[in-house]
């Protein structure tokens, strides 16, 4: 068995998440390795989004959400980070629906660097172009940088969201069902982007498309009813080498 703790970027132990008295996640233990795409699959209400929310302390924005257990990022407990915004720069997130800011395409990407003290126009130009290229969007918007990002197509807006996340130079990028509102062609383009990004960062991919996890993820976790039922090499899980029948049943579409 491969030791997945040796090269871990993220280590989660005994994670429990409650909304008031309702338990959303209980007893989750897992490690995410550096420079891997870690897939998370499972039916609705299995705790996938709640799990992501806890990783960079977005739970602080949610009333009655309580998190217990240990979440270590690069060996540091995320609950002990004094600068929450600094943590969220390191752990970026892309939500299911494009969240375009009411700004130009350029300023959508340049905003975070400016907040981090980058004010030189040449430096900002370089960052914006680099992030838009990495998000496979530059060629489509290079002549529209001063147009509102909200005027882009849905697929372009989702890639703009990715470019904006990349502008913070995260070490870990989380994507929560990014393809819900994206057409199949754009989905495939973003998937190609993620494969390239894996060279420079770690990615957690929550997806409701099991075939997407099969295409992209190095390892995959199966969540069900607030439990992490199983984690394995993706090729093993999709070839029937599973420890739990529930995992196989979900992958083969018998429920979900």
- Domain assignment present for residue 3? The answer is no
Residue 1: per-residue pLDDT: 38
2, part of any domain: no
Average pLDDT over every residue of 223-246: 95
Single out the residue of 229, 246, 242 nearest to residue 26, CA to CA: 229
For 72-104, letters b (16+ CB in 10 Å) and e give bbeeeebeebeeeeebbbbbbbbbbebebeeeb
Residue 256: pLDDT above 80? Answer: no
Quick check: 186 and 194 in contact, CB under 8 A? no
Please, which pLDDT band fits residue 169 given cuts at 50, 70 and 90? very high
pTM exceeding the 0.75 threshold for the entire prediction: yes
* CATH at residue 54: 3.40.50.300
The tally of domains found in the chain comes to 1
In a domain, 74, yes or no: yes
Mean pLDDT, residues 83-107 taken together:
86
**Which of 56-65, 140-149, 182-191 tops mean pLDDT?**
140-149
**How many helices, marked H, and strands, marked E, lie in the chain?**
10, 10
The pLDDT score that the predictor gives to residue 155 is 87
Q: Do residues 116 and 141 lie in contact, with contact meaning Cβ atoms separated by under 8 Å?
A: no
Q: 172 is in which domain, residue-wise?
A: 8-251
Does the structure show a pLDDT above 90 at 145?
yes
Report the share of the chain in percent with pLDDT over 70.
Answer: 96
Asked if residue 256 is part of any domain, the answer here is no
């Amino acid at each position: 068995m491969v030791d997945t703790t040796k090269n871990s970027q993220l280590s989660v132990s005994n994670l429990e998440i409650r909304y008031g008295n309702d338990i959303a996640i209980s007893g989750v233990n897992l490690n995410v390795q550096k420079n891997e795409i870690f897939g998370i699959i499972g039916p609705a209400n299995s705790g996938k989004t709640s799990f992501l929310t806890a990783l960079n302390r977005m739970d602080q924005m949610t009333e009655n959400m309580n998190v217990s257990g240990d979440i270590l990022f690069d060996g540091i407990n995320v609950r002990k980070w004094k600068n929450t915004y600094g943590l969220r720069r390191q752990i970026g997130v892309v939500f299911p629906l494009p969240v375009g800011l009411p700004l130009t395409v350029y300023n959508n990407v340049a905003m975070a660097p400016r907040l981090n003290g980058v004010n030189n126009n040449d430096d900002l130009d370089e960052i914006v172009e680099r992030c838009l290229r990495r998000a496979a969007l530059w060629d489509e918007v290079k002549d529209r940088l001063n147009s509102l990002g909200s005027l882009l197509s849905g697929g372009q807006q989702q890639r703009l969201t990715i470019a904006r996340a990349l502008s913070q130079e995260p070490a870990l990028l989380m994507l929560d069902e990014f393809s819900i509102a994206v057409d199949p062609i754009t989905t495939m383009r973003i998937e190609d982007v993620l494969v390239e990004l894996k060279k420079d960062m770690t990615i957690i991919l929550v997806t409701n498309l099991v075939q997407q996890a099969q295409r992209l993820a190095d390892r995959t976790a199966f969540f069900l009813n607030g439990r992490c039922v199983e984690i394995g090499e993706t090729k093993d899980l999709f070839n029937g080498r599973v420890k739990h029948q529930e995992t196989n049943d979900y992958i083969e579409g018998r429920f979900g």
